[in-house]
Amino acid sequence: MATRKEVAARAGVSEATVSRVLNDVGPIKEETRQRVLQAAKHFNYAPNAIAQSFARGKSGNLGVVLPYVPGVHLFSTFYFSEMLSGIGAAAKERGYDLLLKFRSLETDNDYELLFQRQKVDACIILGARNTVEERESLVRLQAAKLPFCLIGQHYEELRCNTLDADHVQGSYLAVKYLLDQGHARIAFLNGSPAYSNSQDRLKGYLKALGERGIAFDERLYVEGNYSRTSGYQAAPYILEQQVDAVFAGNDRMAIGFMQKLRELGRGAGQDMAIVGYDNSDAAQFTEPPLTSVAVPFYEMGSLAAAKLLESIDANDEKEIFQEKLSTHLVIR
């Protein structure tokens, strides 16, 4: 593979001039420029990106941290897929490449390492949880002044770049809708409280109930893990509680719940109203179609990436951003 040296030799100029031409800096005689360009073309030369990163002290990569669970096909979940699409689009626009980091939840709890090694200029963290180790790791990250942004998770104690959807509002909308339809005993099938968005959903649920003066009945509150199976498994218990509606924290759980319903011979939508969350593709294919809270995952990803990259490109003092995009209910 040709290097700058060979190009310089062939063009009869110094290596510095080659760089100047290729980086389009400084004044250059048109004739020299042409000679260099031709020589470069002759060798099919392109600057070595790693050497460039090394010299510039910038990698040109935007890191994306994803939770990695062996055997679980992560991208197949609507949430991550959409988000990553958005991040990718925004990064591409700004000339950054995406470096994916799969983090094993048990072993890789050190976000710092990612940056210490300086393979990325900034980083977006997906699927962070509220555990002691993670919080501490994030505090260190911040102390080291490494630019990062959390999507879909926020901590009370930690003020850092954050992009999320307004899940309090989303859940409120969903539950209010069910109440408006005349349902009173509404079960809530939530995900793990280790995620702040689960907690937010609970707040929205409580808020909607509170407005109608309905007290929280803990028997109607069930925790799954956002998987279809957990929705499926929760169904028998929920049915025992004589509810007339179910609000699920995501579509997967809602779909699992509906499957069990059908197996038990109780068609969904007849004597039982169900509302999901995410408005994933699947929501429109179920029978009956699933009413669901639409979350702008793609926009969350692209906005987070845009803001983050913008802030590192303009290298003045970075302001912390904490944005919340709104959700809406898609009634089917």
Per the structure block, which two tokens stand in for 234? 């929760």
According to CB under 7 A, which one of 9, 10, 24, 31 is a site residue for DNA?
Answer: 31
Binding partner of residue 216 among DNA, a copy of itself, none, CB cut-off 5 to 8 Å per kind? none
17 lines the binding site for DNA (CB under 7 A):
yes
112 lines the binding site for DNA (CB under 7 A):
no
Contact 76, 86 (CB under 8 A): no
Residues in the chain, how many?
Answer: 332
Per the structure block, which two tokens stand in for 102? 């799969």
Q: Which amino acid is at 323?
A: E
According to CB under 7 A, which one of 41, 54, 158, 212 is a site residue for DNA?
Answer: 54
C-alpha Rg value of the chain to the nearest Å: 26
Q: 40 Cβ partners below 8 Å, 6+ apart?
A: 7, 11, 18, 21, 22
Binding partner of residue 15 among DNA, a copy of itself, none, CB cut-off 5 to 8 Å per kind? DNA
42 lines the binding site for a copy of itself (CB under 8 A):
no
73 lines the binding site for a copy of itself (CB under 8 A):
yes
32 lines the binding site for DNA (CB under 7 A):
yes
3 lines the binding site for a copy of itself (CB under 8 A):
no
Binding partner of residue 81 among a copy of itself, DNA, none, CB cut-off 5 to 8 Å per kind? a copy of itself
SS3 94: coil
Compare residues 42 and 212 and give the one whose CB is closer to a copy of itself.
42
Binding partner of residue 25 among a copy of itself, DNA, none, CB cut-off 5 to 8 Å per kind? DNA
Secondary structure (DSSP) of 265-298: T--TTTS-EEEEEE--GGGGTSSSPPEEEE--HH
According to CB under 8 A, which one of 33, 94, 101, 266 is a site residue for a copy of itself?
Answer: 101
Compare residues 130 and 286 and give the one whose CB is closer to a copy of itself.
286
118 lines the binding site for a copy of itself (CB under 8 A):
yes
* Binders of DNA in range 57-76 (CB under 7 A): 57
Contact 309, 150 (CB under 8 A): no
Q: Report the DSSP beta bridge partners of residue 61.
A: 97
Q: 164 Cβ partners below 8 Å, 6+ apart?
A: 151, 152, 153, 154, 196, 197, 300, 323, 324, 325
Compare residues 47 and 67 and give the one whose CB is closer to DNA.
47
95 lines the binding site for DNA (CB under 7 A):
no
The residues binding DNA (CB under 7 A) are 3-5, 12-17, 19-20, 22-23, 25-29, 31-33, 45, 47-48, 51-52, 54-57
